[in-house]
Structure 1
Amino acid sequence: MTQVMACIDGSTQAAAVCDCAVWASQRLGSPLSLLHVLDQQRYPLSGDFSGIIGLGSREFLLEELASLDEKRNKLALEEGRMMLDAARQRAVKAGVEPTLRHRHGDLVESLRELEGDIRLLVIGKQGEDSGSEVQLIGSQLESVIRTMHRPILVTPADFKAPASAMLAFDASATSRKGVEMLVASPLLKGMPIHLVTVSSDTHEARAALDAARDKLADAGFEVHVAILEGEVEARLRDYQAEHAIELLVMGAYGHSRIRQFFVGSTTTNMLRSATTPLLLLR
């Protein structure tokens, strides 16, 4: 059975990730899984200090270094278990009993291996190595977004259960599929949806927007439609702020105007400026 999977680490955003994942699990009616990955680059399974023999080291020193490395890794493993247990207690208090997963390796590789079990991935905007600046994003976040073929819900440090959503729509096959996903999913049911495109107000753009609106309306959504002109990122952010929209939904990749900014530096800029959860559809 597919699950909502949340990436838990030692960052200040771990609580928000947990709360966001609990919310999504309850909305979707899917079990919750909490994942912690012990970074194999920072904590290798075993230390290899043979390269320093040429510096005149003695065998006992190598053994001592290896022992210290082993102790360090055990402490890191225990710390990861404590993180997961704290997140589990938080989830249980909110009404969800999660399963816990603790892996040693690379986060992206681990998620790729687990992808078949994932219905929705929840991850923080910043990880434990990202620093304290609000506009920084996690170093692995873009890699996760590029790798995964599941919806990804990115949460900022403060999570608030959203009551409204905006879907950035560009009439592409991916954004049309995004509409179908929202129609089929209980995640946003009952919320007003702002269906917004940034393009010239042509007959084609209006027709595509109207067709998407009708599908959402037929599924029971209250739909607000807007066609905006100008720079995509700025116009979407302005509209979101103006209408106090609490969740942004969009396709992760593509070649059209709306999704071009999810490539390279513009991805970073969009994620940096996010102050509300961002749902990326694939």
Structure 2
Amino acid sequence: MNKILVCTDGSQYSQVACQYAAWLAKMENASITALYVTDLRLFEVPAVADLSGSMGIQPFEGMVAQLQEVEKVKAKFVDEQATSIFQEEGLADQAEFKHETGLLVDVVKDMADSYDLIVLGKRGENANFASEHLGSMLERVVRAVDKPCFVNNREFSEIKQIAIAYDGSESCQKAIEYFVAQQSFHKMHFHVLSSVEGHDEDLASQRLTEVESRFKAVGIDATYQSLNGVVEAAITEYVEDNRIDLLVLGAYGHSRIRELLIGSTTTELLRRCHVPVFCFR
């Protein structure tokens, strides 16, 4: 990992995102770009008209100018907030701040090719008003980019125990190769989980054996466990019972038709688990 892009908006979740980005950067000697995106829709006619009322074009233009100034002030605040976190971690020389205007998903997608990892909070600045929902842009960003996405929760905690929900898919194999290659993670304890739901136990055991051979070859210490029952519930329970600090998933691995019918395991685990989730595509 050489370059980390962390999405910020001044919220508690984005502050924690900066903390995790700093933690990852120190492990891998990576650089960090903190990104704040002003939502382009703030300046569209309907949004401004709702604030200015039907007062003609001059008040409308004045309102847009005022909103732009407010966003400049907010961007400066977000910059100072992120910079303060990076300075505390001794990363001032490895971090930069960028302010863009657009839609978060589009901006991140355009920038993603220049980065190795995306870090973003599970929810944004309106988290207190919609705690049962995921961040409005989170799923769209994770789906849109081909880079690993580290989705953090509300509080920072050092990562020592890592669980990987392994189903043998290409995205899960990418996750395994990532941790095999990143020696800084080898000192941590891994839990490799394979669900029996919809599969026979022999297949689950075979999957665990595949990972075990790869991990043993590089000296990674791990626990291997087959889980019974509904995937989302079984994984969530295991994470809670074993004090897991990070859950690793192959993101959105099923067909779009299946997701429309019964929902996405990735989305459900992002919602249920109160630990960071590392998504691989």
Shorter-chain TM range is 0.7 to 0.9
1:116 paired residue number = 113
Q: Deviations over 1:232-262 (max 9, x none)?
A: 0111111111211111001002139xx969x
> How far 1:176 moved relative to its partner?
2.2
Alignment of 1:50-199 (within 5 A): 61-97=56-92, 98-186=95-183, 188-199=185-196
Deviates more, 1:20-29 or 1:185-194: 185-194
Alignment of 1:227-246 (within 5 A): 227-246=226-245
> How far 1:268 moved relative to its partner?
3.8
Q: Deviations over 1:36-91 (max 9, x none)?
A: 0000001359x997xx9xx7x6xxx5224312320221121221122112111111
Tell me, in whole angstroms, the C-alpha distance in 2 between the residues paired with 1:260 and 1:249. Answer: 19
Tell me, in whole angstroms, the C-alpha distance in 1 between the residues paired with 2:128 and 2:137. Answer: 13
Matched residue type, 2:116? R
> How far 1:183 moved relative to its partner?
0.7
1:222 paired residue number = 221
Which structure has the larger Rg over C-alpha atoms? 1
Q: Deviations over 1:174-218 (max 9, x none)?
A: 322321121112452311110110015533332231121110121
1:10 paired residue number = 10
Tell me, in whole angstroms, the C-alpha distance in 1 between the residues paired with 2:277 and 2:166. Answer: 14
Q: Deviations over 1:100-126 (max 9, x none)?
A: 111011101101110111111110011
Q: Secondary structure at the match of 2:186?
A: coil
The root-mean-square deviation of aligned C-alpha atoms, in Å, is 2.6
1:26 paired residue number = 26
Q: Secondary structure at the match of 2:72?
A: helix
Matched residue type, 1:15? Q
Matched residue type, 1:159? F
> How far 1:136 moved relative to its partner?
2.7
- Structure 1 alignment gaps of length 5 or more: none
The aligned length equals 270
CA contact (8 A) 2:33 2:96 kept: yes
Matched residue type, 1:5? L
Tell me, in whole angstroms, the C-alpha distance in 1 between the residues paired with 2:239 and 2:159. Answer: 13
CA contact (8 A) 2:3 2:115 kept: yes
1:278 paired residue number = 277
- Structure 2 alignment gaps of length 5 or more: none
